[in-house]
Amino acid sequence: MSGYRSIDSTLLFWAMKNDLTWSTEYQDAEVRTIFLNPDSRSRVQIWVDPPVLGVAVINVWQVPRGISRLARRRRFICFTALLQTNLDKALELAQAWASTEPAAAPAD
């Protein structure tokens, strides 16, 4: 049984509303992830962890040009009843990140 079963219909509706498509498998593991600017070296990823006890975790991640010290991460934790609202917030952040370069990390 899918760990995403309780939220898949919400994820599908939200993706359709935003003209996006969830990837559902990665290296033989079940996932729910979307890449913005997938062909860019500054692509942004949104993924949702399987919900636990009615709580969902949405992750937004960007590693510009593959340089980990420039990585940006943000987690949105919410009840599954508020999943769409928090996905909207995550998408807004991801789109902002996709359109700007992060500031360089200070030199050591």
pLDDT in tens, 2-53: 899 999 999 999 999 999 999 999 999 999 999 998 667 778 999 999 999 9
Does residue 38 lie within any of the structural domains?
A: yes
Does residue 79 lie within any of the structural domains?
A: yes
Can you read off the two tokens belonging to residue 33?
């992830």
**Residue-level pLDDT at 107:** 47
Sequence-distant (6+) residues with CB within 8 A of 15 are 21, 22, 34
**At residue 74, does pLDDT exceed 60?**
yes
Query: pLDDT averaged over the chain?
Result: 89
Does residue 1 lie within any of the structural domains?
A: no
Does residue 107 lie within any of the structural domains?
A: no
pLDDT band at 64 (very low <50, low <70, confident <90, very high): confident
**Residue-level pLDDT at 106:** 47
User: Contacts by 37-40 with C-beta closer than 8 Å and gap 24+?
Assistant: 37/98, 40/98
- Split into its structural domains, the chain has a count of 1
Does residue 108 lie within any of the structural domains?
A: no
Does residue 43 lie within any of the structural domains?
A: yes
**Residue-level pLDDT at 68:** 77
Q: Which domain holds residue 15?
A: 8-98
**Residue-level pLDDT at 108:** 45
User: pTM of whole model > 0.75?
Assistant: yes
Does residue 34 lie within any of the structural domains?
A: yes
